[in-house]
Amino acid sequence: MKARPRSLGWHLLTALILIGLAAGLWYATARIDYQWRWHRVPQYFLYQAEENLRAPVDGEVTAVRPGGQGDVVVLHGADGETREVVVGRGLAAVSPGDEVFEGDIVGTRRGWHLGPLTWGLWTTIWISFLSGVVGLVVGLAAGLARVSRNPTLRSLSVLYVELIRGTPLLVQIFIFYFFIGTVLHLDRVVAGVGALALFAGAYIAEIVRAGIQSVPRGQTEAARSLGMTAGQTMRHIVLPQAFKRILPPLAGQFISLIKDSSLVSVIAITDLTKSGREVITSTFATFEIWFTVAALYLVLTSVLSQAILWMERRLAQSD
């Protein structure tokens, strides 16, 4: 019974700290006379736009009648053919009997379109996913090479891991795009995904190596004594046990990969970060957009964290 009041006190302290941070942010923005424009942010996720529809030929408007998807403008062309243009309901710009020329506006049509932040978010998701999958394959291969008895494989994997981990990701992206991409004629997206995958693979290789070496040697010896080959032992005995142990650090690496993917914006890939910069350039809503971009990255990483936590619980139940 006494633990609950103590816990309530700590929760109140947490709330006071958050309120203090919010008040400090408000005070800081008030001092620079910044005007918040949060109402402008939703249109950069989804907006409604009008599309002008033009006459395909010279002719005369013979009718404007309602249709299934809007109003239908019927044109009798100078060539004797009849053509129909579907415009929005009540958005026809001509009337029966009007003469029109090719290219004249006969009406408009409204439609919903995805905004730049939505497209940028989608680009970040699929680039991170693809880079993570490729990086996992590369990291698994390099991690197995690290524990191999073959000196060549072990040396090459050590060189790869140390080279990638010892240089900044931004420099690797530049090298991959401007040098390797130029030599091999790679698209910027391929270069970006490749750089991210190799970067993640080096860290995953160390995670895999540590996980394999954490499995007691007696497991391997018992499997070999039963007649299993080295490959069968690794595939059926060692890796399943190692996977459960390396799942938390793997989750951390994939979360870092989502955040690191923002660096591909430097090679003109329109991910979430670059989309945010482009919106700021046209609106000058600096704080609102950057806070929104940060919140979207937080949502992505939080969803991944919950998914990994669910996997951990399922694996724990299977023990």
Domain map (residue ranges) of the chain: 47-113, 117-266
Question: Fold match between 47-113 and 117-266?
Answer: no
Q: Please give the pLDDT value at position 16.
A: 94
Q: Which residues of 225-245 are buried (b: 16+ CB within 10 A; e: fewer)?
A: eeebeeeebbeebbbeebeee
Torsion of CA 84, 87, 93, 97, to 10 degrees: 20
Whole-angstrom distance, CA of residue 70 vs CA of residue 207: 59
Q: Please give the pLDDT value at position 78.
A: 84
Q: Please give the pLDDT value at position 1.
A: 47
Residue 180 has pLDDT above 60, yes or no: yes
Token look-up 């998914």 returns 307
Sorting pLDDT into bands at 50, 70 and 90, what band is 318?
A: low
Residue 2 has pLDDT above 60, yes or no: no
The pTM assigned to this predicted structure is 0.84
Question: In the 8-state DSSP scheme, what is residue 48?
Answer: E
**Mean pLDDT over each residue of the chain, to the nearest integer:** 89
Fold entry, domain 47-113: OB fold (Dihydrolipoamide Acetyltransferase, E2P) (2.40.50)
Residue 33 has pLDDT above 80, yes or no: no
Q: Average of pLDDT values for 31-50?
A: 86
Fold entry, domain 117-266: MetI-like fold (1.10.3720)
